[in-house]
Copies of this chain bind each other. A is one copy, B any other.
Amino acid sequence: MNIDEIEFEEIVQKISSLYQNKKYSDIKATLTEINPADIAVLFDAFAKEQQLLLFRLLPKEEAAETFVELDNETQEALIRAFSDTELREVLDELYLDDTVDIIEEMPATIVKRIIKNTDSQTRASINTLLRYPEDSAGSIMTPEFVDLKKTNTVEDAFKRIRRTGVDKETIYTCYVTDESRHLIGVITVKELLLHDYDDKIEELMETNVIYVNTHDDQETAANLLSKYDFLALPVVDMENRLVGIITIDDAMDVLVDENTEDIHKMNAIMPNEKPYLKMGIVATWKSRIMWLLFLMVSATFTSMIISNFENRLSTVIVLTSFIPMLTGTSGNSGGQASAVIVRALSLNEISFKDIFKVLWKEMRVGLLCGITLAAVNFVKIWFIDRTLLGMSDITFKVDLVISLTLVIEIVFAKMVGCAFPILAKKLKLDPAVISSPFITTVMDALSLLVYFGLATAILRI
C-alpha cells in the first residue's frame, strides 16, 4: 500500500481508536499491512509512550526496519525505554552501516548501552567503521557482503548465499577475493543463475573491477554507482583488501543529501541535516545568519562607491533610479553562469583543465545576452520610462550610459560567475559556497564601478 495524505489521516485515526479500546492485535494486523518507511512516518502522530507500545507490536524484522527509518529523537527515546533484551533484538536485525549511522547521532550514554549489547566481533567492526572520516566511502559502507573464492563453482556460490545471505545487505553482487582478501573479481547473481551448477566462478567472474578506497569521498562513490548502473560498489583499504560495499540505496541517499546541501549552499545557507519542519527557530536562524551578516557587511563596498560618487550623482539624480535594475541584472547573469558551472562540476562534466574553454564560451554568451538586453533596455527606457512614465530628465546620453553598462557588466558577470566556482574547486574549496549570493555581492560593486565610470566619461560630470 502506497499511502497518500488522506489515507494517512485515516490510518492514524483508526490506530488511535483501536489504541483507546486496547485492541492491540487489530493494531498489529493494521501495521503489518504497512511498509516500515510509512510506519516510521505514522509514529510522528503518536505520543512517546504510545510509540513504545506500537513498536512492541511490530514483528521483529519490521521492527528493525521501522527503527532505521525513525528520526534520531524517537530512536533515542525508544532505546531509553527498551530493556536490554529488546535492544539486543533490534540490534541483531540491523545492518552494521545502519547501526553505525545511529551510533553517530546518539549521546554517549546511549552509545555505551548499544556497544554493551553487541557481541565482540560486531563491536570491533563498529569501531573500525566509526574511525572513517565523515562523508568518506568507508563511513557509509557495510562490511556485510557475500565473498567467494575463484575455485568455487556456481553451486558452491549458491550454497554460500543460502547459508550466509540472510544477514547480507545485498546478495546480488558477490565479490571474489584471494587468500589475502584482495579483490580479484565480481559476479552477479544474474550471471550465476544463467550458468550451469558446475561452472567455475573463475571463468565467469568480471575481473575488470571498479572500486573505491575507504578514504574516497562518498559523493565520488555515489557518482560511480550511478554512472556504471551498479547495485553495489566494493570498497578497499590502503592495502587493497576488500573491506566493505556501498549499496545503491545508500548511494541514492547520498546523492539526495548532497543535492540538498548544494542547493542550500548556493543560497547562502549553512549545511544542516534536519528536515525543514523539524528544525527549531534558533537552529534555522543559525544556519542562515552567518552568510547574511557577511554579505551585508561586504556591501560596505557598494556604499563606499556610491558615497564617493554622491556629489556627481546629485547633478544627474535620475541615474539613481536604475541602480537596482543594473545590480539585479548583473546578479542574475552571474548567478546563471555560476549555477550551471557548480552543477557541471558536481556531475564531473567539467574540470579545471576546461577553464579557458568555459571562459571563452561564457564571454560570448555574455556578449550575446548583454547586447540583447541593452537593445531592449535602450528602447524600453526611451519609450516607457521617459515618454510614458514621464521621467523627463532621461537624455539620450543617460540612456546610452545605462545600456552600455548592461553589456559590460553582463560579460563581467558571466566570466566571474563561471571562473569563481572552478577556481574554488581547484583551491579545494566548495564551489557551491562561492556561488550566487557571493557573486551577486561582487557584481554589485563591479557594476556600480562600470556605471559611474561610464557616466563620468559620457555625461562629463
Binding site for B on A (CB under 8 A): 1-2, 5, 33-35, 37, 158, 161-162, 165-166, 171-172, 189-190, 193-194, 208, 210-212, 224-229, 231, 248-249, 251-253, 255-256, 259-260, 262-264, 266-269, 275-277, 281-282, 284-285, 288-289, 291-293, 295-297, 299-300, 302-304, 306-307, 310, 313-314, 317-318, 320-325, 327-329, 331-333, 335-336, 338-344, 347, 349-351, 353-354, 357-358, 361, 364-365, 368-369, 372-373, 376-377, 380, 384-385, 389, 391, 436-437, 440-441, 444, 448
- Are A228 and B35 closer than 8 Å at their CB atoms? yes
- Are A313 and B320 closer than 8 Å at their CB atoms? yes
For A210, what are the chain B residues with a Cβ–Cβ distance below 8 Å? 1-2, 35
For A255, what are the chain B residues with a Cβ–Cβ distance below 8 Å? 252, 255-256, 259
A307 to B323, CA, bound (A): 11
A20 to B458, CA, bound (A): 61
For A313, what are the chain B residues with a Cβ–Cβ distance below 8 Å? 317, 320
- Are A436 and B344 closer than 8 Å at their CB atoms? no
For A5, what are the chain B residues with a Cβ–Cβ distance below 8 Å? 351, 353
Q: List 25 A-B contacts (CB under 8 A).
A: A2-B211, A37-B228, A171-B190, A172-B172, A172-B231, A226-B249, A248-B248, A251-B252, A260-B347, A267-B335, A275-B344, A281-B361, A284-B361, A289-B372, A296-B329, A296-B373, A299-B324, A300-B384, A302-B328, A303-B322, A303-B385, A324-B327, A324-B444, A332-B440, A335-B437
For A248, what are the chain B residues with a Cβ–Cβ distance below 8 Å? 231, 248-249, 252
- Are A300 and B385 closer than 8 Å at their CB atoms? yes
For A322, what are the chain B residues with a Cβ–Cβ distance below 8 Å? 303
- Are A365 and B284 closer than 8 Å at their CB atoms? yes
A349 to B231, CA, bound (A): 27
Tell me which of B224, B227, B321, B358 contacts A310 (CB under 8 A).
B321
- Are A276 and B344 closer than 8 Å at their CB atoms? yes
- Are B292 and A333 closer than 8 Å at their CB atoms? yes
- Are B288 and A336 closer than 8 Å at their CB atoms? yes
Q: Shortest beta-carbon distance, A280 to chain B, in Å?
A: 9
Tell me which of B259, B268, B321, B368 contacts A285 (CB under 8 A).
B368
For A165, what are the chain B residues with a Cβ–Cβ distance below 8 Å? 190, 193-194
A411 to B238, CA, bound (A): 52
Q: Shortest beta-carbon distance, A13 to chain B, in Å?
A: 16
A310 to B389, CA, bound (A): 14
- Nearest chain B residue, comparing its CB with the CB of A324: B302
Output the residue of A193, A373, A380 with the most chain B CB within 10 A.
A193
Tell me which of B295, B307, B325, B361 contacts A302 (CB under 8 A).
B325
For A260, what are the chain B residues with a Cβ–Cβ distance below 8 Å? 343, 347
- Are A328 and B329 closer than 8 Å at their CB atoms? no
Output the residue of A2, A210, A266 with the most chain B CB within 10 A.
A2
- Are A267 and B436 closer than 8 Å at their CB atoms? yes
For A368, what are the chain B residues with a Cβ–Cβ distance below 8 Å? 281-282, 285, 289
For A269, what are the chain B residues with a Cβ–Cβ distance below 8 Å? 336, 339-340
- Are A389 and B189 closer than 8 Å at their CB atoms? no
For A318, what are the chain B residues with a Cβ–Cβ distance below 8 Å? 307, 310
For A295, what are the chain B residues with a Cβ–Cβ distance below 8 Å? 328-329, 332
A343 to B258, CA, bound (A): 12
- Nearest chain B residue, comparing its CB with the CB of A261: B343
Known: A226-B252, A318-B307, A347-B260. A328 touches B325 (CB 8 A): no
- Are A448 and B324 closer than 8 Å at their CB atoms? yes
